[in-house]
């Protein structure tokens, strides 16, 4: 399984809609939705492999991510999501091995990161939107298929001779389960460490009563009773849901370039500049006004445009190493919009969903393997929700201008915990781990360059004379360093503070998988991933490092 010719993946589009789904079937019946995986084996995202046995590639997961997002915004009446399979005797066999074996290293890593984010967003829907989920497992449920089930609130398994759950990556492929399986087994399902060790070393998996005994599933039900038990459990979950009601809001396609997010590429320097623009007018005063704005609401449209821009950079611009973050607009308007959204989110489901969408996109920024440099210049509006961009950055440069026309940093309630990072802390709390009192900034009090520097809110504050040279040199220097070393350094430094399931997945799993995906035991000429499906057995180097 050689990598694709030329080492370049085809461009990926992340826009889709249920009417265009190829691999999933979504049906809604009152408070319960069913999302059935029905992967079309002859419709892979690119040529070179067949999607047999409900195995998935990025195209399958893009549809899954879209379905979860649409259920949150367009179908607030749904309180329970059943994820199952439309195929007999197979739930999901996980990520397509031939796709992984023929992909570039960068694509493998970004693919795993996207699938991790999608499953975390499914868990986020349960925790913050009252949208609970059940995995209805009938047939083989292996690797990434079981990792999808693990992301659900409950797993119901058919108790028969062919239904089993497994994480076979270590014994069969010499890699790790790439979508948080090891972490969720022990941290989420609280499976005993020794049993988890046995389970993760078994290629054939675990069935029925043993899977239940080991806490790998929540129920093991005979096939003849499975559908009835599934319906009863979904109805009970829906009846106990705390999800708030309201009319759904349609999500139209995201334009690129967008109205509020512009991306400028400098391929020669390997730099992308993302400029996020503030709102143009006053915020919605009431929940009804917010509903009329729909997807054109500034926070929501800006977040969706930024999300698309980040995904495009990850997958379609792999050699871009530095992202320069800029803002443009009126800080007072940003503060007004933040205040209204925070107020409405206390009682209105749509406002609350917008807030969580913004949180997820900023997490996507945190987790993007690019150097992030914030440039706070004249005309900037790094205020409130947009100030989070500056604190997500690895460094920030703020112009120390003479007179009263210099830039300012200002804060709203958004900065005090509404948009947490993967570590559960706000970006200000993460910044000031050594001095927590500094994280309690004064709301709406603007900081000019001198005061921002004194408060520890920015990294450097060049004056008008040195500004252009210092910023240019900083960008050029960063772009000249090893991307491998920078990825490792940035991930270590960004994950400061307490460890959570998310930071374990992205800080530990992504780092280890990144390394293992380049090791000869997995992807060498005689590696297990390379030889998968062939009669020749893998030949390992037995050196432990």
Choose among 81, 64, 54: nearest CA to 18.
64
pLDDT by residue (tens digit) across 340-384?
999 999 999 999 999 999 999 999 999 999 999 999 999 999 999
HSE value, Cβ hemisphere, 13 Å, CA-based, for 419: 32
- CB 290, CB 350: distance < 8 Å: yes
Spatial separation of the C-alpha atoms in residues 545 and 543, rounded to whole Å: 6
- Whether residue 440 contacts residue 453, with contact meaning beta carbons closer than 8 Å, is answered with no
Please name the residues in contact with 215: beta carbons below 8 A apart, sequence gap of 6 or more: 189, 190, 191
Domain boundaries, the chain: 5-240, 261-486
Mean pLDDT, range 480-502, rounded to an integer = 92
> What average pLDDT score do residues 495-515 get?
90
Task: Please state, in angstroms and rounded to a whole number, the distance separating the CA atoms of residues 168 and 34.
Answer: 27
Residue-level pLDDT at 8: 63
- Checking if the pLDDT of 286 tops 80, the result is yes
As a whole number, the mean pLDDT across the chain is 95
- The answer to whether 342 and 294 have CB atoms below 8 angstroms apart is no
> Would you say domain 5-240 falls under CATH 3.40.720.10?
no
| H or E segment to which residue 34 belongs | strand 32-37
Range in 37-46, 162-171, 385-394, 527-536 with the lowest mean pLDDT: 527-536
Interhelix angle 105-129/349-366, nearest 10 degrees: 150
- What is the per-residue DSSP string for 342-367? HHHHTT-HHHHHHHHHHHHHHHHHHT
Tell me whether the CATH fold assigned to 5-240 matches the one assigned to 261-486: yes
Q: How far apart are the first and last CA of the chain?
A: 26
Indicate the length of the chain as a whole number: 545
Q: What is the pLDDT of residue 144?
A: 96
3-state secondary structure 135-188: EEECCEEECHHHHHHHHCCEEEEECCCCCEEECCHHHHHCCCCCCCHHHHHHHH
Q: Looking at domain 261-486, does it have CATH number 3.40.50.12280?
A: no
- Calculate mean pLDDT across residues 294-304: 98
* pLDDT-derived band at 510, boundaries 50, 70, 90: confident
Res. 4 pLDDT band, cuts 50 70 90: low
Burial of 540 (0-12, 13-18, 19+ CB in 10 A): middle
The structure tokens listed for 3 are: 């990598």
Digit-coded pLDDT (tens) for 79-98? 999 999 999 999 999 999 99
Residues 388 and 415: their CA atoms lie apart, in Å, by: 7
* Integer Cα distance of 432 and 367 in angstroms: 20
Choice among 15-24, 137-146, 248-257 with the minimum mean pLDDT: 248-257
C-beta separation of 447 from 458 below 8 A = no
Sign of CA dihedral 344, 238, 28, 59: positive
- CA 486, CA 469: separation in Å to the nearest integer? 23
Confidence band, pLDDT 50/70/90 cuts, at residue 389: very high
What CA–CA distance (Å, rounded) separates 467 from 371? 20
């Amino acid at each position: 399984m050689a990598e694709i010719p030329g080492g370049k993946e085809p461009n990926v589009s992340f826009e889709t809609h249920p009417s265009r789904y190829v691999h999933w079937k979504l049906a809604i019946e009152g408070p319960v939705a069913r999302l059935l995986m029905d992967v079309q084996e002859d419709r892979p995202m690119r040529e070179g492999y067949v999607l047999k046995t409900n195995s998935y590639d990025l195209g399958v997961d893009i549809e899954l991510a879209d379905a979860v997002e649409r259920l949150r915004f367009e179908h607030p009446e749904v309180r329970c999501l059943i994820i199952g399979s439309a195929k007999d005797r197979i739930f999901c066999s996980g990520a397509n091995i031939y796709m992984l074996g023929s992909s570039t290293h960068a694509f493998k890593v970004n693919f795993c990161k996207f699938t991790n984010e999608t499953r975390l967003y499914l868990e986020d829907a349960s925790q913050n939107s009252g949208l609970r989920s059940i995995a209805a497992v009938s047939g083989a449920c292996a690797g990434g298929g079981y990792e999808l089930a693990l992301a659900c609130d409950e797993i119901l398994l058919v108790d028969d001779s062919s239904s089993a759950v497994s994480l076979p990556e270590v014994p069969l492929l010499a890699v790790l389960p790439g979508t948080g399986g090891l972490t969720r087994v022990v941290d989420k399902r609280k499976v005993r460490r020794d049993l988890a060790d046995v389970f993760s070393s078994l290629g054939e998996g675990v069935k029925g009563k043993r899977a239940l005994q080991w806490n790998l599933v929540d129920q093991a039900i005979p096939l003849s009773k499975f559908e009835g038990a599934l319906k009863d459990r979904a109805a009970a979950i829906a009846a106990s849901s705390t999800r708030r009601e309201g009319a759904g809001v349609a999500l139209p396609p995201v334009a690129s370039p967008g109205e509020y997010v512009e991306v400028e590429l400098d391929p020669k320097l390997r730099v992308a500049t993302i400029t996020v623009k503030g709102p143009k007018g006053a915020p919605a005063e009431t929940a009804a006004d917010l509903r009329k704005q729909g997807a054109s609401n500034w926070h929501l449209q800006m977040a969706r445009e930024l999300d698309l821009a980040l995904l495009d950079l990850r997958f379609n611009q792999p050699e871009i190493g530095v992202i320069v973050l800029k803002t443009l607009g009126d800080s007072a308007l940003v503060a007004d919009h933040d205040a209204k959204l925070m107020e409405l989110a206390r009682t209105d489901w749509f406002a609350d969903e917008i807030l969580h969408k913004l949180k997820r996109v900023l997490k996507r920024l945190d987790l993007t393997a690019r150097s992030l440099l914030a440039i706070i210049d004249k005309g900037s509006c790094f205020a409130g929700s947009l100030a989070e961009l500056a604190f997500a950055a690895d460094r920030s440069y703020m112009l120390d201008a003479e007179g009263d026309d210099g830039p300012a940093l200002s804060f709203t309630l958004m900065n005090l915990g509404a948009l947490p990072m993967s570590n559960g802390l706000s970006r200000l709390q993460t910044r000031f781990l050594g001095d927590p009192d500094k994280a309690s900034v004064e709301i709406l009090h603007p900081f000019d360059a001198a005061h921002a520097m004194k408060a520890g809110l920015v990294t450097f504050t060049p004056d008008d004379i040195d500004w252009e040279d210092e910023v240019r040199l900083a960008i050029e220097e960063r772009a000249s360093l090893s991307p491998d070393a920078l990825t490792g350094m940035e991930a270590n430094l960004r994950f400061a503070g307490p460890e959570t399931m998310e930071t374990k997945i992205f800080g530990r799993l992504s780092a280890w998988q990144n390394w293992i995906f380049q090791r000869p035991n997995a992807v060498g000429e005689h590696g297990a991933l390379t030889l998968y499906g062939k009669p020749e057995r893998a030949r390992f180097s037995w050196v432990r490092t």
